[in-house]
Structure 1
Amino acid sequence: MRLTLHTDYALRILMHLALAPGRLVTISEVAASFSISRNHLVKVAHELGQAGFVETMRGRGGGLRLARPPEEIAIGDVVRAMEEDFRIVECFDRDANSCCIAPACRLKRLLKEALDAWLAVLDGATLADLVERPAPLRRLLALTA
Structure 2
Amino acid sequence: MRLLRSTDLALRFLMRLTVVETSTPTTRDVAADMDVPYTHAAKVVAELQRLGLVDARRGRGGGLSLTEKGRTASVGAVVRTFEGEGDVVDCEGTTPCPLSPGCRLRGELRRAQEAFYAALDPVTVADVVAEPTGPLLLGLPKAP
- TM bin (shorter chain): 0.7 to 0.9
- Matches of 1:99 and 1:12 in 2, distance apart? 36
Q: Which residue of 1 aligns with 2:74?
A: 74
Higher alpha-carbon deviation: 116-125 or 66-75: 66-75
Per the TM alignment, residue 98 of structure 1 is displaced from its structure 2 partner at its CA by 2.3
Q: Which residue of 1 aligns with 2:3?
A: 3
Percent of pairs with identical residues: 39
Alpha-carbon RMSD: 2.1
Give the number of aligned pairs: 140
**Structure 1 residues 97 and 80: CA distance shift in structure 2, 3 A:** farther
Scaled by the length of structure 2, the TM-score of the pair is 0.85
Residues 47-88 of structure 1: CA distance to partner in whole angstroms, max 9, x if unpaired?
110111111111221111112255521011111221244431
Q: Are the counterparts in 1 of residues 33 and 141 from structure 2 also a CA contact under 8 Å?
A: yes
Residues 77-105 of structure 1: CA distance to partner in whole angstroms, max 9, x if unpaired?
111221244431123x5x76722222211
- Matches of 2:21 and 2:112 in 1, distance apart? 35
State the structure with bigger RCO (CA 8 A, min sep 6), 1 or 2. 2
Residues 126-145 of structure 1: CA distance to partner in whole angstroms, max 9, x if unpaired?
10111001223311x137xx
**Structure 1 residues 71 and 61: CA distance shift in structure 2, 3 A:** closer
Gaps of 5+ in 2: none
SS of alignment partner, residue 7 of structure 2: helix
Gaps of 5+ in 1: none
SS of alignment partner, residue 125 of structure 1: coil
Per the TM alignment, residue 35 of structure 1 is displaced from its structure 2 partner at its CA by 1.6
